[in-house]
Amino acid sequence: MKRSRIITFLLALMLGMGSYAQKFAYIDTEYILNNIPAYKQAQDQLDKLSEGWQREVENMYAEIDKMYRDYQAEKVLLTEEMKKKREEEIMNKEKAAKELQKKYFGQDGALFKKRDELIKPIQDEIYKAVKELATEGGYAIIFDSSAGASILYTDPKLDKSDAVLQKLGYKN
């Protein structure tokens, strides 16, 4: 008895939803971002910063590696006190390298903050343009096809990426 009521309710719900024709569209944020010169400049700036910081961290680890190899080579000649001191130096240097790596590349690191500073305003502009497009066009939902995995097919007529670019002031 309960099962038939649930099925009846679901059928009524589906029929009721069918009467409200919803408009859907999609955009490709990757395509949009790649057509915004400010995004490319910001990405280049982030790449340069990241490469410089990565070199700095790698140099520090190379220095630690050299310290460790030197220690291993001289270990037999060192007193216990000297061994402890060298081991501490190596461990402190390793700790400093990890802290530097976290400072640059950690969850709240400099790269994250710089990315937020450079990219977020562009993403906010895109979101605003998508919201305006949805309101003006009467779209219930606008999907992002750059995520790709959950969208198996998209009709090119529903792609509003160029409309978002136009709202942002870019021609394509």
DSSP labels for 64-125?
HHHHHHHHHHHGGGS-HHHHHHHHHHHHHHHHHHHHHHHHHHSTTSHHHHHHHHHHHHHHHH
Q: Is the pLDDT of residue 9 over 60?
A: no
**Which pTM value belongs to this model?**
0.69
Tens digits of residue pLDDT in 113-135? 999 999 999 999 998 998 888 88
Q: Is the pLDDT of residue 38 over 60?
A: yes
Measured CA distances, 165 to 34, 74, 151 (Å): 11, 64, 22
Q: Is the pLDDT of residue 36 over 60?
A: yes
pLDDT average, residue stretch 39-64: 97
Closest CA to 138 of 18, 25, 17, 16: 25
